[in-house]
Amino acid sequence: MSWNSFGRVLRFTTWGESHGPAIGAVVDGCPPGVALSEADIQPWLDRRRPGTSRFTTQRREPDAVRILSGVFEGRTTGTPISLLIDNVDQRSRDYGEVEKAYRPGHADYAYDAKYGLRDHRGGGRSSARETASRVAAGAVARLVVPGVRIRGWVEAIGGDAVDPARFDDAEIDRNPFFCPDAAAAARWETLVDGARMAGSSLGAVVACEATGVPAGWGAPLYAKLDAELAAACMGINAVKGIEIGDGFAAATLSGEANADPMRPGPDGPAFLANHAGGIAGGISTGQPIRIRVAFKPTSSILTPVATVTRGGEATSIATRGRHDPCVGIRGVPVVEAMVALVLADQALLHRAQCGDRAQGTPVDLAR
């Protein structure tokens, strides 16, 4: 079943294919009175925009967003916000091979098996181009929780990781890899260039941290903040793994090593560690929220791979067209956007259920 909406009270729906006339998102449930114009969204789209270095696809898209509804005199009205981005640089002729045979690792075969037909041009709906819609929606979400800072970076490419001791936030925006470690960024130039020229591609790990999230957002169990973030990020193209806090490393620890001891602090407890990634019992603790997301390597590669045609005959495919040699790099603004959308949604949900809790007064929404 096609399912292109996300969120519980702050919801968004995306639409559009790689080589259609446009793509877009509709954001519903945004609080009214938020100052919003295209200028609030465009910088985030520009971070994700393709064609800005040789390490991303060479497709040239301005990714200029237009707000078609939901804003009046510079403020949100509380009604749905329609965001539209034109596609201007389609080159569908590159995709003749993809029409006839399935790229291993790509969505091609699965779409055909499910739907019986597919828009093969540029990957159609399964193209990473769709993520521009998420980034646009995420820019709106950021404005709903302005006290939260959401910051992502690439932690590893092809297994080559940054050195945590060299982490420099300012470095992230200085290189084409969103890499916080200048030395790693230098190595990655060689690494990604090599993959690109070999007609290959590389996987990557993206990390993201959200600071300024107060204790109390999220839910026990079926909508654990961990689970919301996992669903949000695992829904991004090419993502195959997600960790909250220590993630799989926590599975190697003892209980006392994994505990985040507490000490009295100025505003509630002060924590002496953050193995939990800022979430306990599915609810934020006030610590920074930390996640890691695994992107597989781009499956559209020039290196030939054995496959079958739509008719079921053996062949091999080498994918022409323009592709990111490492789709995880541009995943950074996308992961950030999804985190923003989850947190803004949870902020509103927390206010819905617990908005009057602090006062300790009887609940009376009707006064």
The residues in 83-142 that bind its own copies, with binding defined as CB under 8 A, are: 102, 104-111, 113-119, 124-126, 130
In angstroms, the CA 300 to CA 95 distance is 11
Cβ contacts of 263 within 8 Å, gap of 6 or more: 269, 270, 271, 272
Nearest to 333 by CA among 141, 161, 144: 141
* Matching residue, tokens 């026990």: 220
Residues in the chain: 367
Cα atoms found within 13 Å of the Cα of residue 318, Cβ hemisphere only = 6
Choose one: 27-35, 41-49, 164-172, 173-181; the region binding its own copies (CB under 8 A). 27-35
Give residues 284-313 in contact with its own copies (rule: CB under 8 A): 284-286, 292, 294-301, 303, 305-308, 312-313
- With CB under 8 A as the contact rule, the residue among 39, 93, 147, 170 that binds its own copies is 147
Q: Please, which residue, 68 or 186, has the CB nearer to its own copies?
A: 68
Residues facing 253 on adjacent strands: none
Smallest separation (angstroms) from its own copies to the CB of 322? 15
Nearest to 91 by CA among 50, 54, 60, 127: 60
23 binds its own copies (CB under 8 A): yes
Give residues 215-274 in contact with its own copies (rule: CB under 8 A): 215-224, 226-232, 234-235, 237, 239-248, 250-264, 268-269, 272
Choose one: 20-28, 45-53, 163-171, 172-180; the region binding its own copies (CB under 8 A). 20-28
In angstroms, the CA 64 to CA 149 distance is 24
- With CB under 8 A as the contact rule, the residue among 328, 329, 334, 342 that binds its own copies is 328
39 binds its own copies (CB under 8 A): no
Report which secondary-structure segment, H or E, holds 364.
Answer: none
* Matching residue, tokens 């949604």: 345
Give residues 149-208 in contact with its own copies (rule: CB under 8 A): 156, 158-159, 195, 200-205
Nearest to 200 by CA among 147, 258, 157: 157
Q: Please, which residue, 170 or 367, has the CB nearer to its own copies?
A: 367
Interaction mask 42-71, its own copies, x per CB under 8 A:
------------------------x-xxx-
In angstroms, the CA 194 to CA 213 distance is 40
